Structure 1
Amino acid sequence: MSLRVVVVDDSGFFRRRIVEILNADVGIEVVGTAANGQEAIEVVKHLNPDVVTMDIEMPVMDGITAVRRIMAESPRPILMFSTLTTEGAKATLDALDAGAMDFLPKRFSEMAKDEDSAKILLRRRVRALGRTRFTRPTAPAPLDRPAPTGATPPTAPARAAVAPRLSPSATPLNSLRAVLIGTSTGGPVALQEVLKGLPKSFPLPIILVQHMPASFTPAFAERLNNLCQIDVKEAASGDVLKPGSALLAPGGVQLILEGGAQPRVRIEESPPGTIYKPSVDITFRSAAAALRSQVLAVVLTGMGADGREGARELKANGAHVWAQDAASCVVFGMPAAVIDAGLADQILPLKEVGPALVKGFC
């Protein structure tokens, strides 16, 4: 059965373009369109699509208001189209807070290096969101014991994972020097959920790696800083890791951890061929080299497998790795990759990640 999609945009040209791109995928069918948020609410009620694509700025009713109404009345995955500007970033973050699950740049040239790649990315994102369900079981995983190596969370499909050889024992939590958190699709809301529960006195520095455009990360860091008790800022080269502070990797580049008596970060351009900018794998690998076992790496919701190979290097050095469970993920891709590789010491629902950090370190 094809994935049913409704496309919402006030531009007739853009609507037709998105319809054409999505309908070119045999697994996707655009079943309706709307020219503003008010129309979108009615069309969604009538057609009951699996996914909605939504513009932000529209007449009659804007996209953020429409998202809020749809998520209150008939919730389903919504993909926002955004401009890569400061104002566009703030509006997109507002839309994610309202319940939208993902976003893409409205200009295809900002989405991928060529138009064909952009079309593939759009279809892939829609298909991933189409697999999201809103009626998931929420039984929490236990916090007081690690998940068995290679274990699959109760809500995930069975997998035949082969556990790698790991170090015989991990470094005690009370001797760690940093917490690293990597995420992608669904990450902005997930990071807010995790960080807002941490006290200002949280004793470790935190490094955040969120797949996000360069124009979005300053606004996102500012938003997190306003919402949280800990300090949050966009990272810059030379920033020192401080307890009770979080550094957000800037978009479009890579965050590298440097060791020593006072660990700090370095921001550098991406190696040729790098897909993710910033990349969780690159930051995790640098942490494995700089801090060895004295790290807790947390992999949250996201598409793909970024973070798995970096987690493997950290784990081989005796570091701790936690992963978000399937039931609470927007897209169970990145955490699934870590879990399937047998790298997760803990598999936690999103709402328990923050309390587990407080319990482990405060």
Structure 2
Amino acid sequence: MVFKVLVVDDSTFYRRRVREILDADRELEVVGEARNGQDAVDMVQSLAPDVVTMDVEMPVMDGITAVKAIMQQRPVPILMFSSLTHHGAQATLDALEAGALDFLPKKFEDIAQNRKEAAQMLCTKVRLIARRGIGIRRPSLRDAKPLPPSAPKQKFFRSSGLLSGRNDAASQPTVSSVTRSGKLYKCLTIGASTGGPVALQKVLTPLPADFPLPILLVQHMPGTFTHAFAERLNGNCKLAVKEAEDGDILRAGHAYLAPGGKQMVVEQQGSIKRLRITDETGQDKVSYKPSVDVTLRSVASVYGGDVLSVILTGMGADGREGCRSLKEKGATIWAQDQASCVVYGMPQAVASANISVKSISIDDISNCILTEAG
């Protein structure tokens, strides 16, 4: 299957560059180029692309406004291009909240060490969200505008082995609630990647300020983004949320977001649990900074089995081995269910390995956490 792509950017040079990369992929075909957000909104209607790549800063209509309009009129998966600045981070987070599914740094040298690797990553991201379809976010009936009778049907592809490289893990059914087990926990951990910023906000927002556990958050994200993301979560949540710093003492009702480009590990000092932020990965061969596996292995060594760990939407398998270490100590592992993931890679990795004990929709995870550990 070939996915149709609309490229949106006010730079002719950048549009041409992106088009060359995407057209070289046999699963992708660029069907149009838009110079601003208004052109993008119009061309989504006329061309019916399967996926859109969208710049943030543009004349006439900016990318965030365009995302909102597209998600109201004809929802389609959108990949944002962003500058790795604090302002770029804030704008990208706004775009994700508006309905975009993922983002990449606009400078290809920030994506990977060489052009070939960067091109592969761009094509992979575009294919992933194109396959995911628009089912992850639909406008409310009140806000949605009717599509013309001639419009093609919107696509919704269930993410499975196409996205993660593994067989479907349908053997673990989705549950919407849990019965409290009576287990006593000392820490909650949450790992996420693609689709994680919106998912994390959805999980954390309902948790009360007096939540009885410290929470460790590992989200694959550039270093210039994690501070802005932590600030946003702190403003939207009752919990105290911060970007983790070296030496932070873990406290109940506080959430610590691993800084991008670093590793976050937990260390025991007497009766105190303290965070260490480092460039080192120890014995772990990891591709991610931060890595869910690195953090969870340290959590297992400090907290043992007194941990509730949740793996949310994301590409790849980061978190599987860390969760395995936790489970061997007696910890409880949950995974986000397939239907509500942007990319069912990381949750599928723990589900198909029989490490997680429950698969839960993103809409129900916070209530389940409150029942089990709150």
CA distance in 1, matches of 2:234, 2:169: 41
Distance 1:135 1:100, change over 3 A: closer
Match of 1:332 among 331, 344, 349: 344
Worse-matched range after superposition: 172-181 or 111-120: 172-181
Which blocks of at least 5 consecutive residues in structure 1 are unaligned? 138-153, 164-170
The structural deviation recorded for 1:288 is 1.2
**Partner SS, residue 188 of structure 2:** strand
Match of 1:313 in 2: 325
CA distance in 2, matches of 1:274, 1:35: 39
Please state if 1:223 is matched with 2:232. Answer: yes
Q: Runs of at least 4 residues of structure 1 off by over 6 A?
A: 154-158, 160-163
Match of 2:275 among 260, 265, 280: 265
CA distance in 1, matches of 2:169, 2:10: 47
**Partner SS, residue 54 of structure 2:** strand
Give the total of aligned pairs: 340
Match of 1:233 in 2: 242
Please state if 1:253 is matched with 2:262. Answer: yes
The amino acid that maps onto 2:195 is: G
Instruction: Report the RMSD for the aligned CA atoms in angstroms.
Output: 2.2
CA distance in 2, matches of 1:160, 1:332: 10
CA distance in 2, matches of 1:301, 1:162: 18
Within a 5 Å distance, the mapping from 1:83-98 to structure 2 comes to: 83-98=83-98
The structural deviation recorded for 1:172 is 5.9
**Identical pairs, percent:** 53
The structural deviation recorded for 1:330 is 0.8
TM-score, normalised with respect to structure 2: 0.87
CA distance in 1, matches of 2:135, 2:279: 41
Within a 5 Å distance, the mapping from 1:34-183 to structure 2 comes to: 34-135=34-135, 159=168, 174-183=183-192
CA distance in 1, matches of 2:190, 2:318: 12
Q: Is the 8 A contact 1:207 1:247 kept in 2?
A: yes
The amino acid that maps onto 2:20 is: E
Which blocks of at least 5 consecutive residues in structure 2 are unaligned? 138-157, 162-166, 173-179
The structural deviation recorded for 1:133 is 2.8
Match of 2:289 in 1: 277
The amino acid that maps onto 2:335 is: A
The structural deviation recorded for 1:160 is 7.3
Distance 1:155 1:186, change over 3 A: closer
TM-score, normalised with respect to structure 1: 0.90
CA distance in 2, matches of 1:263, 1:346: 28
**Partner SS, residue 58 of structure 1:** coil
Distance 1:3 1:190, change over 3 A: same
CA distance in 1, matches of 2:260, 2:80: 19
Match of 1:18 in 2: 18
Distance 1:100 1:155, change over 3 A: closer
CA distance in 2, matches of 1:100, 1:305: 23
The amino acid that maps onto 1:298 is: V
